Amino acid sequence: MKKLLFFLLLSITGLIISSCEKLFIEPDPKNTPKECFESMWKRIDEKYSFLEYKHINWDSVKAVYQSQVHDDMNDVELFRVLDSMLYTLKDGHVNLIAPFNISRNWEWYLGSPQNFNYSVLERNYLGDNYYITGPFKNQIFLYNTKRIGYFHYSSFSDNFSDYHLDFILSRFSTTEGLIIDLRDNGGGITNNVFKLLNRFVKEKTLVGRCYEKNGKGHSDFGIAYEMYGEPSKDEKGNTSIQYLTKPIVILTNRSCYSACNMFAGFMSVLPNVKIVGDKTGGGGGLPTSYQLPNGWVYRFSSTYTALPNGFNIENGVPPTIKQDMNPINVANGIDDILEKALQQF
Partner 1 sequence: MRVFLFLFMCLVSLLSIAQGLDTLKSTSPDTSLNSKIVKPDPKIRYKALSISIPYKKVRDEGHSPLTHRGPSIQLATFNERWRSKKGVTRSITKFEMVLGIGLIRTNKNKVSSITQASTLYMDINYQYMRPIKKLFNGKGEWFLGALVTNTFDGRYYTFLPNNSFGYEFSNVINPATEFTYKFSFGKIDRNYQIGFKLNTALLAHVVRPNFIGMEPAETYMDENIKPLAILTNGNKIVLPNRFFRINTEIYLDRFKKSNNDKFRFYYGWGLHVTRLPSSNPLYVATHTIGFVRMLYSKKEKIKKIN
- Which residues contact partner 1 by CB under 8 A? 2-3, 6-7, 10-11, 14, 17-18, 20-21, 24-25, 28-29, 31, 39, 47, 75, 95, 97-99, 190-191, 194, 210, 212-214, 225-228, 230, 286-297, 299, 302-303
Count of CB atoms situated within 10 Å of the CB of 304: 21
CB 45 to partner 1: min, Å = 14
CB 33 to partner 1: min, Å = 11
CB 88 to partner 1: min, Å = 21
CB 247 to partner 1: min, Å = 27
CB 85 to partner 1: min, Å = 18
User: In this structure, are strands 95-98 and 297-301 parallel, antiparallel, or unpaired?
Assistant: antiparallel
State which residue, 43 or 171, has the beta carbon closest to partner 1.
43
State which residue, 127 or 295, has the beta carbon closest to partner 1.
295
CB 245 to partner 1: min, Å = 25
Angle in degrees, CA 33, 40, 292, rounded to 5: 65
Beta bridge partners of 229: 205
274 within 8 A of 320, measured Cβ to Cβ: yes
State which residue, 74 or 129, has the beta carbon closest to partner 1.
74
* Residue type, position 229, single letter: G
Dist. CA 80–CA 65, nearest whole Å: 10
CB 89 to partner 1: min, Å = 15
CB 60 to partner 1: min, Å = 25
State which residue, 52 or 212, has the beta carbon closest to partner 1.
212
- Please choose, from the candidates 99, 184, 102, 94, the residue with its C-alpha nearest in 3D space to the C-alpha of residue 137: 184
CB-based burial label for 43 (10 Å; 0-12, 13-18, 19+): middle
DSSP E strands in 51-107: the ranges are 95-98, 101-102
State which residue, 272 or 294, has the beta carbon closest to partner 1.
294
153 within 8 A of 183, measured Cβ to Cβ: no
Dist. CA 256–CA 251, nearest whole Å: 9
State which residue, 282 or 293, has the beta carbon closest to partner 1.
293
Dihedral sign for Cα 122, 125, 131, 135, please.
negative
State which residue, 177 or 208, has the beta carbon closest to partner 1.
208
State which residue, 31 or 173, has the beta carbon closest to partner 1.
31
Distance in angstroms between the alpha carbons of the first and the last residue of the chain: 99
User: In this structure, are strands 146-153 and 177-181 parallel, antiparallel, or unpaired?
Assistant: parallel
Return phi, psi of residue 122, to 5°.
Answer: -70, -45
